[in-house]
Amino acid sequence: MDFALTSEQRRRDEELDAAIRDRLGDNRPFAADQHFTRERWRAAAELGLTGLCLPAEHGGQALGALDTALCLETFGRACPDTGLVFGVAAHLLACAVAVRDFATDEVAARLLPRLANGEVIAANAITEDDAGSDTGALGMKAVGTRDGYRLTGEKSFSSNAPLADVFVVYAVTDPAAGFLGTTGFLVDRDLAGVEVGPPLVKAGLHGCPAGRLTLTDTLVAHDRVLGEPGQGSVIFQHSMGWERACLFAIYLGLMDVQLRSCVRHARRRRQFGSRIGDFQAVAHPIAEMRQRLDSARLLLLRACWLIDNGRNAVTETSLAKIAVSEAAIANGLAAVQVFGGSGYLAETGVEAQLRDALPSRIFSGTNEIHRTLVARGMGL
Ligand SMILES: Cc1cc2nc3c(=O)[nH]c(=O)nc-3n(C[C@H](O)[C@H](O)[C@H](O)COP(=O)(O)OP(=O)(O)OC[C@H]3O[C@@H](n4cnc5c(N)ncnc54)[C@H](O)[C@@H]3O)c2cc1C
């Protein structure tokens, strides 16, 4: 077993880190409405970040899950706008991966280059008001016709939606078929009957706008069906496998920066005539931050390695998702405490790291659902 990065991985990390700091290292959104702009999205695309795991012949970098995760870790470390990082990762993993693996060759050849080069922004839309964790309870219906499918219904929480050009939408095509009754569709924003709501006001990830998506009798052509009719749940689980493994690497990068800033602060800040880091009450929580970060990182890299090697990674991906998200929140809380009052001020960015970490236990399947999957994986 080799824990060392290859020289190629180290070189890519150094170059990417420097390029991201140069192009996107300046801006941390303070306000809930400071979403990413097309220019910032294009900058991320020019660095190859919107196409990390897309095929080279379609403008991507053809990276596997592990290398994609390493690049996203670098992105999360070097770019303080975690919302933008999250938006790019969701576009790539929840949407472009589904197109890469399930669109027709013609649609993939047309769409993947534009997803990779930043021209087209994608949003994933499955969640509804009455179907969150229970993705088997979707209310959005798709009725087959000669010209395509007519989709009607409302999605309640879609990251990137307010700026997205295309949506990966899941709708029920056969209510009686259960797991096999859901179908995935590519829905262009400019189709008749597509309505995107205003950005939702969130606690964090301000850089990434999220919104509702309403479809009213929207006609989606047959060639925009992902995979086969009825394959939607499988496609969703497939893209979520990539998202749960790779997207969470952005939080490894965030925790890395956070840990370094805590160490720096604990070495510089003096109270009672000592560096606060000399107090065990400050040093031990920082040691625990390191322990949580390192163990979460190992679980995440293992999950990616399993995906790259074609192994079943359901349990390991859930374990990684739980570990990274819980580490990100625990470390975010610890960092605020290490920084004291200044950690509560927006100008330090410490409180923003905690707010940006908060939803990580919820999206890509809640941690409660993932614990259930882990338990099932052990035969419970
Ligand atoms: C920042 C963010 C970004 C998101 N981006 C997207 C996106 O791009 N596209 C999209 O479609 N959705 C997105 N979502 C929505 C997300 O997928 C859902 O919020 C999530 O699946 C949970 O659904 P819910 O919010 O309806 O919670 P619920 O399902 O109502 O769950 C509420 C609570 O009950 C628990 N619970 C529910 N069922 C069970 C059970 N069987 N066993 C144990 N506990 C259970 C949950 O774990 C949770 O604690 C995003 C959410 C957030 C916060």
CATH class as words, domain 7-121: mainly alpha
Spatial distance between the Cα atoms of 88 and 96, rounded to a whole number of angstroms:
10
Q: State if pTM tops 0.75.
A: yes
The CATH code that applies to domain 123-228 is 2.40.110.10
Mutate-to-test residue for ligand 1 from 366, 369, 373, 376, highest number of ligand atoms within 8 A of CB = 366
User: In the chain, which residues fall in CATH 1.10.540.10?
Assistant: 7-121
* Delimiting residues of CATH 1.20.140.10 domain(s) in the chain: 248-377
Taking the centre of ligand 1 as the mean of its atom positions, its distance from the CA of residue 76, in whole angstroms, is: 23
Architecture per CATH, domain 248-377, reads as Up-down Bundle (1.20)
Q: How many residues does the chain have?
A: 380
Q: Please identify which of the residues 243, 347, 351, 368 carries the catalytic annotation.
A: 243
What's the whole-number average pLDDT of the chain? 97
Residues with CB under 6 A from ligand 1: 90, 124-127, 132-133, 157-159, 205, 210, 359, 362-363, 366, 368-369, 372
Which residue has the least CA distance to atom 29 on ligand 1? 133
Low-confidence ranges of the chain (pLDDT < 70): 29
Q: Where do the CATH 2.40.110.10 domains begin and end in the chain?
A: 123-228
Ligand 1 center–CA 135 separation, angstroms: 9
Q: Ligand 1 mean position to 39 CA, how many Å? A: 31
128 belongs to the catalytic site: no
Q: What is the pLDDT of residue 78?
A: 97
Q: Which atom of ligand 1 is nearest to the CA of 204?
A: 1
Return the residue whose CA atom lies nearest to atom 38 of ligand 1.
133
Task: Answer for the pair 14, 58: CB distance below 8 angstroms, yes or no.
Answer: no
